[in-house]
Amino acid sequence: MSCPTQEYPALATVGRPVKPFTLETYDPTEGSFGQVSLEKLQQERKWTVLVFYPADFTFVCPTELADLAERHAALKDMGVEVISVSTDTKFAHLAWRNSERLLENVRYQMAADPTGAVARYFGVYDEGAGIALRGTFIINPEGTLVGSEVNFYNVGRNAAELVRKMQANKHLRDHPAEACPARWEPGARTLTPSEKLVGKVYEDLIP
C-alpha cells in the first residue's frame, strides 16, 4: 500500500503544512556557504523561524537583524532555527555581514532567495520591486505554519515579541487544550476553552 501524498496549499497558510524548501545560505558562525532545508530541520525536530527582509545594504534591515541577533540565544535555547531571508545572493550576505557593524553579532544563517520563489510562496514577494516585505513566519517541528506577521517596508519588527510568541507556541504544543490570552508570558494563567468559559473570561483570568 502506498502512503498518501502530502498536500500543500498554493500559498503558505497558517494552520496548514508548509511545502518543503531548500535555500543557499551564508553562515556567519562558520564563515562559510551552505544550505538550509526545511525537511532536514523537521527531521531534527526543530522549530523554524523565517525572517524575510527587503534587501542587504539598506537602512531599517540592519536594525532588525541586529535586534534579532540579541534574541537569537533565547530562541536557540527553545530549539528554534532562525533564518533570515532576502532576495540577495549569499555573496551579498557575506559582504554585508562583514561590513555593517550593526550585524557583527549576527550568528544565525542568512538565506538567499534570488528568484523570489520562497518569498512568493509565503506571500511576501513584491513583484514590482523584486524584493520581499518584512515577513516573520513560525513553523513547528511537524512542518505546520503556526505564526505569520507581515509589515510594510518602513516599519521594523520587535524580536522580543517574537520570543514571546515562540514561548506561547511551545507551551501550546505541550498543552493543546489550552489557549494563551493577550500578552501571555510563561508562568501566567492560560485559558481552557469550554462552555463554562463563555462570557466568563474575566472571572477565569482574575480570581
Catalytic machinery residues: 61
Please state whether beta strands 134-139 and 32-37 pair in parallel, antiparallel, or not at all (unpaired).
unpaired
Determine the residue type at 11.
Answer: L
Three-state SS for 48?
strand
What residues have CB less than 8 Å from 201, skipping those under 6 apart? Answer: 181, 191
What residues have CB less than 8 Å from 86, skipping those under 6 apart? Answer: 52, 53, 54, 55, 56, 61, 93, 111, 112, 113, 131, 132
